[in-house]
Structure 1
Amino acid sequence: MSRFRHALKNRDQHIFSLRMSCGVLVIILLIAVGGWITAPSRIVVYNPPDLRTGSSRPWWEVPAPTAYTFALYIFQQLNAWPKNGDVDYPAKIAALTPYLTPSCLIFLKADLRKRADSGELLNRVRMIYEVPGRGYNSKSVAIMNRDSWVIRLDAVVDEYFQSEPVKRALVRFPLKVVRWDGDAERNPFGLALDCYEGIPQRLEAATPSEDAKGKGMFQ
């Protein structure tokens, strides 16, 4: 009798171990199916702005217009101080941190301190926008490699102090953009601004009053 009892016990233990193995396999299968279903939602596909002629490229390739548009948007936001640069500039740096590389963040914080110490922020209003007629073209983006680009941005810099215009300058900014697949929740673009790839070059400059008289930079 004991032999039969041992045989039944061994059978039951074997059945239990098989059931546990099946349970583990089912859990693994569910995880795999879940990952397979949600994977397409985590893939970033970059499409060029104009799709009338179609587009065929590897999904990881970032089109040059996309890199240019990203650099313009982030840089424009960094330099948008609608009320008071002393408050707006640090707030913009904090808000755009997910779109900045660590080295660029250090550079901007140092620039913030320098401007604050020299009195260039208090009650200062600032805005940057593309020079009309000098938007994106084939020479606006230099592709360094698959993961980095240098953007040539020709922009107008307007500054006001307590509603009084103090500066209008036409500047060429050499901005660097890099692939940044870090935090997709906070940075869905998968790109980051790495600040400057050289010294910004002032092309022309004029005061807003001069520009209004037709003697400015668009002459």
Structure 2
Amino acid sequence: MSRFRHEIVHLQAHIRTLRLAAGALALLALLLGLGWWSAPRDLTIHIPPDLRSGSTRRWWDVPPENVYAFAFYIWQQLQRWPSDGEADYPRNLKTLSAYLTPACQAFLEQDYQRRRANGELRLRVRGLYEIPGRGYGEDPARRVRVISARDWIVTLDLTADEYYSSEQIKRALVRYQLKVVQLDQDPEHNPFGLALDCYAQPPQRIDPHPDPTPAQAPGAAT
């Protein structure tokens, strides 16, 4: 009888061990399920435009060339008034608000009010485009200055054309130094995860022939 009793005790101990193992596996599966459930469903990965030589980087890094492309695209869209600046400018501010920091949004709204009060918007048509030979590829280090992993200063050399009805009333070559910050808080409306924080320095008129550094550029754009 003692041999059978010993065998029963052994089997009961083995069953308890199996139950503990099954409980541990169930707990592990629960933790893995919670981790999977809380993991982000979408990741924004910034890939450099030129992949001929390949690219290896952390998924959260933002390449400077992508920062430049973002700043140029959003700023160009903000300053595009296709028919009437008095209606187009506030509409742009509303449409692109997800790509602006709150401080920049407030600054540009004040700029709109000032321009409207001075009669600079009504029936004005405006557009910006890059000055040939002064894009990112010509001088990448100067076009995007890295402040931190989440902050940059982008230098854009652009031509600003304005028309009143069919008559051109202004053409200015302007250097814009814009602050860009990482603001990945609304991927539904801002898939870039970046935002403009307006000017790092006031806009500056530039000479169309030499390409001075920002510190040498005279004057202020109007």
Specify if TM > 0.5: yes
Letter of the 1:146 counterpart: A
Residue 127 of structure 1 is matched in structure 2 by 127
The Cα of 1:160 is off from its aligned counterpart by 0.2
Offset from partner CA, 1:32-88 (integer Å, 9 cap, x none)? 44445xx3x411111111111111111111100000000000000000000000000
The Cα of 1:204 is off from its aligned counterpart by 3.4
Q: Take 1:144 and 1:179, find their aligned partners in 2: how far apart are those partners?
A: 12
Show structure 1 runs of 4+ deviating over 6 A: 25-29
Give the one of 174, 181, 185 matched to 1:182: 185
Residue 97 of structure 1 is matched in structure 2 by 97
1:155 and 2:158 aligned: yes
Q: TM-score, normalised to structure 1's length?
A: 0.77
Residue 66 of structure 2 is matched in structure 1 by 66
The Cα of 1:124 is off from its aligned counterpart by 0.2
Give the one of 203, 207, 216 matched to 2:206: 203
- For residue 90 of structure 1, give the secondary structure of its aligned residue in structure 2: helix
Letter of the 1:175 counterpart: L
Residue 23 of structure 2 is matched in structure 1 by none
Question: Does structure 2 conserve the Cα–Cα contact (< 8 Å) formed by 1:129 and 1:156?
Answer: yes
The Cα of 1:181 is off from its aligned counterpart by 1.1
Letter of the 1:98 counterpart: A
Letter of the 2:169 counterpart: V
Letter of the 2:89 counterpart: Y
Residue 55 of structure 2 is matched in structure 1 by 55
Structure 1 stretches lacking a partner, 5+ long = 1-24, 206-219
Matches within 5 A, 1:29-48: 32-36=35-39, 39=40, 41-48=41-48
- For residue 132 of structure 1, give the secondary structure of its aligned residue in structure 2: coil
Offset from partner CA, 1:64-123 (integer Å, 9 cap, x none)? 000000000000000000000000000000000000000000100000000000000000
Q: Take 1:133 and 1:192, find their aligned partners in 2: how far apart are those partners?
A: 26
Letter of the 1:204 counterpart: D
1:168 and 2:153 aligned: no
Residue 143 of structure 1 is matched in structure 2 by 146
Offset from partner CA, 1:148-195 (integer Å, 9 cap, x none)? 100010000000001110000100000110000111101110000000
Question: Does structure 2 conserve the Cα–Cα contact (< 8 Å) formed by 1:169 and 1:204?
Answer: no
Q: What is the identity percentage for the equivalent residue pairs of Structure 1 and Structure 2?
A: 48
Letter of the 2:59 counterpart: W
Residue 195 of structure 2 is matched in structure 1 by 192
Q: TM-score, normalised to structure 2's length?
A: 0.76
Aligned residues: 180
Q: Take 2:36 and 2:183, find their aligned partners in 1: how far apart are those partners?
A: 28
Q: 1:198 to 1:188 in 2, by over 3 A?
A: same
Q: Take 1:166 and 1:201, find their aligned partners in 2: how far apart are those partners?
A: 19
Indicate the RMSD between aligned Cα atoms, in angstroms: 2.0
